[in-house]
A and B are shown apart, each in its own frame.
Chain A
Amino acid sequence: MTRRVVLGIYALLIVVPLVVIVGGSLKTTPELFASPFGLPTDPTLDNYTTVLAKQDLLRVLGNSVLVVLVSVPATLLLGSLVAFAVARLPRWPSRILFGIFALGLAVPAQAIMIPQYVQFDRLGLRNSLTGLMLVEIVVTLPVAVFILAGFMRTLPGELFEAAEIDGAGSWASFARIAVPVSYPSMAATAIFLIVMHWNDLLYPLLFIDDPDKRTLPLALLDFQGEYLTEYPLLFTGVVVASLPMIIAYAFLQRHFVAGITAGAVKG
Chain B
Amino acid sequence: MIKRNRLGLYLFAAPALALYGGFFLLPAVQGLRYATTDWDGYSPTFTEVGAANLTDVVSNDDLFRNALTNNLKFLLVVVVGQTLLALLLAVLLAARSRSSTLLRALFFLPTVLSSVSVAFIWKFVYDPNFGLANTLLQAVGLGRFQSAYLGEEGTAILWVAVAQIWFHAGQMMVIYIAGINQIPAELYEAARTDGAGRWQQFRHVTWPMVAPATALVIAYTTLQSFKAFDLILGLAGNPPRSSLDVLATRIYTTFANSHLGYAAAESIVFMVVIAVVTILQNRAARMAHR
Contact = CB atoms under 8 A, between A and B. Distances in A.
A230 to B, nearest CB: 11
A216 B106 contact: no
B103 interface: yes
A263 to B, nearest CB: 9
Given A119-B30, A235-B120, A78 B227 contact: no
A221 B116 contact: yes
A110 B229 contact: yes
B253 to A, nearest CB: 12
A100 B20 CA distance: 9
Interface residues of A, number: 96
A108 B274 contact: yes
Interface in A183-239: 195, 198-199, 201-202, 205-206, 216-217, 220-221, 223-225, 229, 231, 234-235, 237-238
B280 interface: no
A262 B217 CA distance: 12
A110 B89 CA distance: 31
A20 to B, nearest CB: 6
A79 to B, nearest CB: 7
A167 to B, nearest CB: 10
A58 B122 CA distance: 25
A108 B175 CA distance: 22
Contacts of A145: 16
Contact of B92 (A7, A170, A199): A7
B111 A17 contact: no
B92 to A, nearest CB: 5
7 contacts: A14-B166, A85-B12, A118-B41, A199-B113, A201-B116, A224-B120, A241-B117
A152 B7 CA distance: 19
A147 interface: no
A245 B166 contact: no
A174 interface: yes
Interface in B193-232: 216, 220, 223, 226-227, 229-230
Interface of B: 5-6, 8-10, 12-13, 15-17, 19-20, 23-28, 30-31, 34, 41, 88-89, 92-93, 103-117, 120-125, 127, 129-130, 132, 135, 166, 171-172, 174-175, 178, 216, 220, 223, 226-227, 229-230, 233-234, 237-238, 247-248, 251-252, 255, 260, 263-264, 267-268, 270-271, 274-275
A30 B264 CA distance: 46
A181 interface: no
A84 B114 CA distance: 32
Nearest to A103: B25
A138 B26 CA distance: 12
Contacts of B264: 114-115
Q: Is the interface of B mostly helix, strand, loop or mixed?
A: helix
A89 B31 contact: no
Contacts of A50: none
A132 interface: no
Contacts of B255: 114, 117
B267 A20 contact: no
Q: Is the interface of A mostly helix, strand, loop or mixed?
A: helix
Interface in A89-131: 89-90, 93, 97, 100-101, 103-104, 106-120
A14 B109 CA distance: 8
In the A-B complex, the 8 residue pairs with the smallest Cβ-Cβ separation, listed nearest first, are A115-B27, A199-B114, A170-B8, A78-B16, A110-B248, A201-B230, A115-B30, A115-B31
A217 B234 CA distance: 10
B230 A249 contact: no
Contacts of B216: 264-265
Interface in A38-82: 78-79, 81-82
A11 B102 CA distance: 10
Contacts of A112: 24, 27-28, 31, 267
Interface string A1-28: 0010011001101111110110010000
B150 to A, nearest CB: 13
A164 B120 CA distance: 55
A114 B109 contact: no
A33 B130 contact: yes
A124 to B, nearest CB: 14
A107 B28 contact: yes
Contacts of A114: 31, 34, 251, 255, 260, 263-264, 267
A138 to B, nearest CB: 4
Contact of B114 (A33, A138, A242): A242
Nearest to B250: A110
Contact of B124 (A79, A206, A231): A231
Contacts of A221: 116, 233-234, 238
A257 B127 CA distance: 32
Q: Which of B107, B114, B135 has the most CB of A within 10 A?
A: B114
A261 B27 contact: no
Nearest to B130: A33
Contacts of B227: 108-110
A134 B20 CA distance: 10
